[in-house]
């Protein structure tokens, strides 16, 4: 009996530790889709740090159920970039693909000019789009 416990106990502790780390500290997630290209590509695995402060331009993963346009199924997670934070940020996006936050032009080095003027622009319907 002592022999069984001597190898069972470390295995059980290892499993408990691994579950705790994955639940509260870090985990790996798989990118599904191309909306974050060129920064993240489809099927890429990324390292997720849980409970980090969210700042402007942070990349975040969130539960998209009942948030996404057209709806998302339960358990659907989205990965997106934060461009505004709570506290009164005002966003303006021009048809030329220029992003203004609180009246200041913000360079978007993480996406191409084509993405700024076509793909991103198609997703900002609720925002004020200036000519």
Catalytic residues: 35, 80
Structure tokens at 70: 């057209």
Backbone angles phi, psi at 28, to 5 degrees: -110, 140
Cα 64 from Cα 89, distance rounded (Å): 22
Structure tokens at 63: 């539960």
DSSP run (H or E) holding 63: strand 59-63
């Amino acid at each position: 009996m002592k022999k069984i416990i001597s190898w069972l106990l470390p295995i059980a502790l290892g499993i408990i530790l691994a579950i705790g780390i994955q639940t509260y500290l870090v985990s790996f997630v798989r990118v599904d889709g191309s909306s974050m290209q060129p920064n993240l590509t489809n099927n890429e695995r990324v390292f997720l740090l849980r409970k980090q402060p969210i700042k402007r331009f942070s990349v975040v993963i969130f539960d998209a159920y009942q948030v996404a346009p057209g709806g998302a199924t339960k358990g659907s997670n989205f990965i997106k970039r934060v461009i505004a934070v709570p506290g009164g940020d005002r966003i303006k996006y021009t048809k030329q693909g220029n992003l203004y936050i609180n009246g200041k032009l913000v360079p978007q080095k993480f996406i191409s000019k084509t993405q700024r003027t076509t793909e991103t622009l198609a997703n900002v319907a609720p925002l004020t789009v200036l000519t």
